[in-house]
Each structure stands twice: as C-alpha cells, then as structure tokens.
C-alpha cells in the first residue's frame, strides 16, 4: 500500500467484501485487535474468524470510512457501519433488523501492515436499534 490510509481502507473493504485473503494481507502476523462485545482478537486467524462470523450474520455489512487521518505510524478513521443482522453475532441476535452504528478505528502500522487496532463503537445505539436496550 502506498499509504496508511489506503491500508486501512483496503482492510475494511476486504472484510466487507468477504475477501479474507486480501483482508489477511493487510494484517501483521502479530496483529491484536481490541474491539467491544467480546470481539477482540489476537493474530490473523482469530481476526479472520471474527469477520467470517460477522459476514455470516450480516451479509450486507459495510464500513463507510467518512474521515481518515494518518500521523506517523498511526491511522485513525471515523466510520459509519451499516448492515442487517440476520442471525447471532457477538451474543446479539435479531432477524432482519437493519442498523447504522458510529465507529472509530485507531490502528498502528508496522512493516506495512496493521499490527494493532482499537475499535470504539456506539454499542448503546446499536442495542437500541436491535430492540435490546430501551432508550
């Protein structure tokens, strides 16, 4: 990748498209992803399995990277995640409920790949949309 921004965009697009080989090429072998709802992962295979399960439950999952900033070896993005939950994922279950969730991603890049990432998501808003949490 020519830039950290392109790397982050490629990672999200590959996951959204279900291309888990291209997805894995964006990640450092020692990748650690810190995510809410028990979705943290250590290593490429754990992160791949998380996305495999996500695509199974939400075939239309999409990350719209609205704003991306890169400084040194850190890249950050403000994203809008959309999809339709059609099964169980991360302990949440719904049948056909469409959602939109705000997400921030901060990632460190090493040797041209993402080595560590933090996902900060509006889980409360998601739970309200799924009818699990009342406003």
Rg, the chain, Cα only: 14
Give CA separation, 42 vs 25, 39, 109, in Å: 15, 10, 15
Q: Which domains are present in the chain?
A: 4-129 (3.10.450.50)
C-alpha span between 48 and 109 (Å, rounded): 18
Whether pLDDT at 115 is above 70: yes
What pLDDT score does 11 carry? 97
pLDDT, averaged across the chain: 95
pLDDT tens, residue by residue, 93-104: 888 999 999 999
| Residue, of 108 and 132, whose pLDDT is higher | 108
Query: Tokens standing for 72?
Result: 């040194």
Q: What is the DSSP letter of 7?
A: H
**φ/ψ of residue 20, rounded to 5:** -75, -10
pLDDT tens, residue by residue, 51-83: 999 999 999 999 999 999 999 999 999 999 999
Per-residue pLDDT averaged across 105-123, rounded? 98
The string of DSSP codes covering 11-56 is: HHHHHHHT-HHHHHHTEEEEEEEE-TTTT-EESHHHHHHHHHHHHH
């Amino acid at each position: 990748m020519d830039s950290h921004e392109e790397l982050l965009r490629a990672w999200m697009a590959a996951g959204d498209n279900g291309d888990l080989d291209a997805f894995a090429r964006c990640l450092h072998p020692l990748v650690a992803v810190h995510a809410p709802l028990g979705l943290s992962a250590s290593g490429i295979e754990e992160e791949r399995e998380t996305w495999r399960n996500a695509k199974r439950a939400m075939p239309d999952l999409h990350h719209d990277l609205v704003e991306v900033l890169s400084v040194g070896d850190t890249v950050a993005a403000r994203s809008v995640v959309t999809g339709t939950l059609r099964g169980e994922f991360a302990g949440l279950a719904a049948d056909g409920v469409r959602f939109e969730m705000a997400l921030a991603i901060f990632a460190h890049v090493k040797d041209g790949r993402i080595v560590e990432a933090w996902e900060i998501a509006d889980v409360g808003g998601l739970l309200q949309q799924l009818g699990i949490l009342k406003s």
